[in-house]
Amino acid sequence: MAPPAVTSTRHDRLAEALRRAVLAQAFEKTPDRARGGAAVAHFPSIDLAMVVFGRGRDRAHLGIRPTWANVLFSREHPRGLVAAIGERGGAVRHLRFDADVVDADSRSHAWAPDADWRRIAFPPLHGSGPHRFVVPYPASLLKLMVAVGVGMAVDLGRAEWPAADIGPMITVSDNEATDRCVALLHRAGVVELLHERFAALGLPTLRLNRTTPAGGWRNGDGSGVGHIHMTAWDTVRLLWLLDADASAPPWLARTPRLMPLLQPATRDRLRALLEAQELNEILSSHSLRGVPGFVEGLPPSVRFAHKTGNTENYGSDAGMVVAKTPPPLHAIVAVITNLGQRYAPHERCATTWKLPALGAALHRVALDWT
């Protein structure tokens, strides 16, 4: 007798679509300035997650359940891993996340062309299983966690909303404004409370470790790479909790008395800042229109309430994608990579054009699931 056929779920089908979207960009051919413009020595690390909500709270679509997936690529997994998540959308299972590292001079060294991962002791971050994924530093995407912490301090009555700082921190990624917001978290005593809330909400890989009362969060402050962590799936679920139009998070269905992450007014303030984002240069790219070789990312016709992160070695982007006019769309996406400015083809670019191209492909994938 033949074995019973395995029926793929809608989540499996979305995961395969995401995996194919990444492979279609041929990231293994990305030019690397550290190699004189030759292609990368190893397949880049790409942590990509998405949830699609259909048409949000449109009454005609209340019966549509969200569909989600998380796929991960690296030199160890160039064809991609599909994260095991489950029907409740909880934390990734059966996969070990290892933390990024710095050398004795506080420099990222795992991403050097000649880095031998067999000789690097990556500390475990979360989980266990037959495979591991080394989590790239989220770069300035971490400022989303800082902003949530500021919102918590405001909701608790421990601080006033720092409009002069939190706005520039989110919309133009101002580092000095971030210093002041991190210092606020320490004055308000909410850093560990933020970690406790992330853990209670089932977001175990979101960590702002070793920031300082003076506002330090960079490598030189003893924080930064190796201490501040985000994974794409937990970032998507963090944004899910900040999205007033999203359906109820299913992984929290059995804990109905859990306090909301932020009060509605504070949540909406943060959403407005994400929508005012001025850096559209990773999954969206209309800030770069006119640059030679321009590649369209997520189209400017959709509202992308998001935060980017970018350094020499890292590129990340995460946000809510909404279109109310036909074709309607409601999704959340996050990508965290080691593809920073050293892979950029032009001085105005933040990363390779392959990431905006991926953004356009993700838009097409999301429309197929709407």
Domains of the chain: 10-47+58-340+353-368 (3.40.710)
Q: Indicate the residue type of 168.
A: P
Query: So what's the pLDDT on residue 3?
Result: 41
- Residue 253 Ramachandran class (φ > 0 left, ψ -120 to 50 alpha, else beta): alpha
Q: Chunked in runs of 10, what are the mean pLDDT values of the chain (370 residues)?
A: 57 96 98 98 98 61 77 98 94 97 93 96 96 98 98 98 98 98 98 96 97 97 97 98 95 86 97 98 97 97 97 98 90 98 97 98 92
Query: So what's the pLDDT on residue 369?
Result: 83
Query: So what's the pLDDT on residue 54?
Result: 72
Q: What is the pTM of this model?
A: 0.95
Residue tagged 């000095």 (tokens): 176
**In this structure, are residues 353 and 343 in contact, taking their beta carbons and an 8 Å threshold?**
no
Q: Indicate the residue type of 115.
A: A
Query: So what's the pLDDT on residue 249?
Result: 94
In the sheet with 124-126, reading across from the earlier edge strand, the strands are 124-126, 96-98, 132-134
Query: So what's the pLDDT on residue 5?
Result: 44
The DSSP letter of residue 191 is H
Query: So what's the pLDDT on residue 1?
Result: 42
Dihedral angle over CA of 340, 341, 345, 348, nearest 10: 130
Residue 309 sits at the vertex; the CA angle it makes with 126 and 169, to the nearest 5 degrees, is: 110
Query: So what's the pLDDT on residue 127?
Result: 95
Give residues with Cβ within 8 angstroms of 27, minimum separation 6: 40, 43, 44, 46, 73, 339, 352, 354
Taking the C-alpha atoms of residue 120 and residue 223, their distance in angstroms, rounded to an integer, is 19
Taking the C-alpha atoms of residue 29 and residue 192, their distance in angstroms, rounded to an integer, is 42
